Amino acid sequence: MADRRFRIVICRGPECGDRRGSAALHEVFRSVLEANGAREHTELVWQSCFGRCTQGPNVLVREIVAAQPGALVGSGFAALPGPRGLTALYNRMDAARALRVVVEHVNGGQIVRDLIERPGIHPHDPVASNRKDS
């Protein structure tokens, strides 16, 4: 995977940062990237909020993909998005999950699907029913 580059974006918004301790996650990721030989091909940055606050701390892992020639159309107001690469937003991150993300996603090239929740779904919530009793 050394030929692929990634950006790890850690949320430090008010919920992920202050209440759920994402500041410590930054150091965890730094250490795990070093220990697994991934620091050279991975950027580690912050984001203010992903809008998924109740599922934090949230961490986006995005493959950095070079723009294809001719991929952008227009003057910047009507540009088509470039290729997204191997990208996932991981929820409820901690040190153990950070290790899995680096080993499996960044180094292994596989999205770690069991660390991704659907928006607004809490794993301990009862399954909502859409049935209306008449």
Check residue 52 for interaction with ligand FES (CB under 6 A).
yes
Q: Is 25 in the site for ligand FES (CB under 6 A)?
A: no
Stretch that binds ligand FES, among 13-21, 32-40, 79-87, 115-123 (CB under 6 A): 13-21
Nearest to 6 by CA among 119, 113, 114, 88: 88
Structural tokens at position 74: 């227009």
Determine if 15 is a binding residue for ligand FES (CB under 6 A). Answer: yes
Rounded Cα gap, residues 8 and 3, in angstroms: 16
Write each residue from 104 to 133 as x if it is in contact with ligand FES (CB under 6 A), else as -, in one continuous string: ------------------------------
Other CB atoms within 10 Å distance of the CB of residue 7: 15
Find residue 89's DSSP bridge partners.
60
93 binds ligand FES per the rule CB under 6 A = no
